[in-house]
Amino acid sequence: MPAEQAQVSIKGTNEGLTVHFPDGPEFSELLESLRTKLQENESFFRGAEVVLELEERPLQEEEFQALEQLVSALNMGIKGISSNSPVTKMLGQSKNIRILSGSSIIHSPKLVAQRAGHTRRQWKAAPSPIRTSALEKGQEPALLMKRGLRAGQRIHFDGHVVVLGDVNPGAEIVATRSIIVLGALRGIAHAGATGSEDAAVIALNLQPTQLRISSHVGIAPDARTTRSRAHVPEIARIRDGGILIEAYSTKE
Amino acid sequence: MGQVIVVTSGKGGVGKTTCSANLGSGLAQLGKRVVLVDADIGLRNLDIVMGLENRIVFDLVDIVEGKCRSYRQALIKDKRFPNLFLIPASQTKDKEAVSPEQMQVICEELRQNFDYIFIDCPAGIEHGFRNAIAGADSALVVTTPEVSAVRDADRVIGLLESEEKYNPRLILNRLRPDQVRRGNSMSISDVQEILNIEILGIVPEDEGIVVSSNKGEPIVLDPHSKAGAAYRHIVRRLDDPSLPLSLGERNGGILGRLRKLFIRDQAAL
């Protein structure tokens, strides 16, 4: 019996076209199978943007380059990578490719994170590093965390982050847009991480160890209060070249 | 079917071993069949705190490596209670000598024959921690009211919660009401605000603990000790989960003061 040929599978999903690379076969064989599939339907694939689905495989730099070459020959773009391998995720990050949720947004295992249901449609059109103009005005992706973060837990997200719970000392949130904590923010928050000066951090109880907005850094006063006081919701944002914290109000 | 409870903390020196020894002895005193498993391979202590060091022949690693016929051969019977046993850790091997899967197998076997199985977890969150929690049904997280201990407890609770099965409960150890009153120490509610899990019990600072550990006589058996009384309360709560957290006798005594403090503390929130 002839050995079955290693195959990638291509399917249409919410995210667009997804190319699945099973874990078993050599990557080079999978690449050949992808080449054949693309050539068979060249007109269909031309210009498409695809998501790579890689299971546990640690993708190597050279492998990625070969893949990139293959798709760019058809003017195709890679708009995201979904993987369980930290190596692959880091490679994707270093290439500025979006790492899809479920794989890497949450660095702590199995932490429950969900995109808000009503942002789903916006999310499909969410900015990828390749195409950033698809969002309608005022629509941005957001990550809804259904529980708080404990020491050692981190999230990185390209968009806004909303946390339903406390962000404890030793936890860290990095978002390219604003961060909203419906609870106490005692850890580290970095809003506008890619340079958005208009990003803000809002918390019901704003007591961060360190607060960063864009390239500005604010640290908590050294005197550690052992007893917490009752707090009003506060907002931190950039004003006059520094981080200003004031009571949060909807009247602007 | 018995329940397997891991006693863990993240930070070292907050009282995991003392806690395991006392809860085990307390439950044995109530007539339960209890086994204590020292999972701190390479740095065993539980045998000393229990006063059983001189009786060790086989240990946890011997069971795993098949050097004894079954785990029964490694069980050390306590001096005080015929229904209390210890499986000591190996002094010479390291944590990698045991795998999480092997711990699961041992816990399953012990579960058939005991009411309570306590796993005394090593400090840290590495291999030894993974071993200790592998076969457990629930976790007790021990902390002291110090910022660093609470931080590590928070980290450990996060790890336990990500597995979604341990239902971690808190034991706040070495609380000093006088220091809390002066504002020098975190209060019960300060700790609770950060960790946000159920408090199983609160143990006041007690110099008698050092003496009892050195003598190998768990303090829970001392009817006059305040820490002993606190451990007896935790034991009762372990056995009967419907029992509310009590902070001491009706009036006077250190626990009475502790209780007033807690009530005032909550009122301040």
Percentage of chain A surpassing pLDDT 70?
77
pLDDT at A106: 32
In B, which residues are within 8 Å of A112 by CB distance?
none
Map out the domains of chain B as residue ranges.
Answer: 3-268
d(CA B123, CA B132): 10
Work out the average pLDDT over B138-164. 95
**Can you tell me the distance from the alpha carbon of A224 to that of A227, in angstroms, rounded to the nearest whole number?**
9
**Quick check: A227 and B187 CB within 8 A?**
yes
Cα-Cα-Cα-Cα dihedral of A144, A150, A154, A157, to 10°? Answer: 10
Q: Could you tell me how far CA A204 lies from the centroid of its own chain?
A: 24
Q: By percentage, how much of chain A surpasses pLDDT 90? A: 33
- Other C-beta atoms lying within 10 Å of the C-beta of residue B221: 18
The percent of residues in chain B predicted with pLDDT above 70, rounded, is: 91
Which of B148, B155, B163, B264 would best serve as a mutation to test chain A binding (most A beta carbons within 10 A)?
B155
Can you read off the two tokens belonging to residue B59? 């240990």
Residue pair B155/A170 in contact by the 8 Å Cβ criterion: yes
B162 and A166 in contact by Cβ < 8 A?
Answer: no
Give the model confidence (pLDDT) of A166-190 as tens digits: 999 999 999 999 999 999 999 999 9
Write down the pLDDT at residue B254: 56
pLDDT per residue over B103-130, tens digit each? 999 999 999 999 999 999 999 999 999 9
Q: Of the candidates A169, A226, A227, which has its C-beta nearest B151's C-beta? A: A169
- Under an 8 A CB cutoff, do A226 and B193 touch? no
Rounded-to-integer distance, Cα A103 and Cα A211, Å: 27
- Which positions ≥6 away from A251 have C-beta within 8 Å? none
A168 contacts B154? CB cut-off 8 A: yes
Of A166, A184, A227, the CB nearest to B190: A227
The alpha-carbon gap from A22 to the nearest alpha carbon of chain B, in Å, equals 27
| Cα separation, A200 vs A246, whole angstroms | 11
Q: In a mutagenesis test of the A interface, which of B159, B175, B184, B266 is the best target, namely the one with the most A β-carbons within 10 Å? A: B159
CB contact under 8 A, A170 and B154: yes
Pairing mode of beta strands A142-145, A113-115:
antiparallel
Check if the interface score ipTM surpasses 0.90: no
Is A227 within 8 Å of B183 when comparing Cβ atoms?
A: yes
**Higher pLDDT, residue A53 or B5:** B5
B183–A226 C-beta distance less than 8 A: yes
**Residue B252 clears pLDDT 50, i.e. is over it:** no
Q: Name the pairing type of β-strands A216-219 and A210-213.
A: antiparallel
Contact B162 A111 (CB under 8 A): yes
How far A229 CA lies from chain B's nearest CA (Å)? 8
Q: Is B200 helix (H, G, I), strand (E, B) or coil?
A: strand
**Phi, psi (deg, nearest 5) at residue B34:** -130, 140
Using a CB-CB cut-off of 8 Å, the residues of chain A touching B145 are none
How close B184 comes to chain A (CA, Å)? 8
Q: What is the side-by-side order of every strand in the sheet holding A77-82?
A: A9-13, A16-20, A49-53, A77-82
Q: Assign B251 to helix, strand or coil.
A: coil
Report the pLDDT value the prediction gives residue B4, as an integer from 0 to 100.
Answer: 98
Nearest CA in chain A to B196: A166
Is A168 in Cβ contact with B194 (below 8 Å)? yes
Least reliable range by pLDDT among A81-90, B48-57, B158-167: A81-90
Helical axes A27-40 vs A61-72, angle rounded to 10° = 10
For B3-268, the fitting CATH number among 3.40.47.10, 1.10.287.1770, 3.40.50.300, 3.40.50.1950 is 3.40.50.300
Contact B196 A166 (CB under 8 A): yes
- Give Cα A161 distance to the centre of its chain: 10
Looking at residues A18-26, what average pLDDT do you find?
Answer: 86
Asked if A110 and B147 come within 8 Å (Cβ–Cβ), the reply is: no
Q: pLDDT value at position A8? A: 87
**Among B151, B162, B185, whose Cβ lies nearest the Cβ of A151?**
B151
Q: Which residues of chain B approach chain A closer than 8 Å at the C-beta?
A: 147, 151-152, 154-155, 157-159, 161-164, 183-187, 190, 193-194, 196, 268
A139, with CB counted inside 10 A (0-12, 13-18, 19+), is: middle
- Name residues 133-152 of chain A within 8 A of B (Cβ): 148-152
* Contact residues on chain B for A186, CB-CB shorter than 8 A: 194
User: Are B15 and B210 within 8 A, CB to CB?
Assistant: no
The residues with which A179 forms a beta bridge, in sequence order, are A161, A201
pLDDT band at A122 (very low <50, low <70, confident <90, very high): very low
d(CA B203, CA B233): 10
B190: closest CA of chain A, how far (Å):
7
Contact flag B158-A110 (C-beta cutoff 8 Å): no
Distance from CA of A212 to the nearest CA of B (A): 22
Q: Is B35 within 8 Å of B63 (Cβ atoms)? A: no
Residue B255 has a pLDDT of 58
* pLDDT value of position A93: 78
Per-residue tokens: A108: 């702590």
Shortest CA distance from A166: residue in chain B: B194
User: One-letter amino acid identity for B167?
Assistant: N
CB contact under 8 A, B155 and A186: no
Enumerate domains of chain A plus CATH numbers. 1-104 (3.30.70.260), 108-252 (2.160.20.70)
Q: A166 at the B interface (CB within 8 A)?
A: yes
pLDDT tens track for B43-98? 999 999 999 999 999 999 999 999 998 899 999 999 999 999 999 999 998 888 99
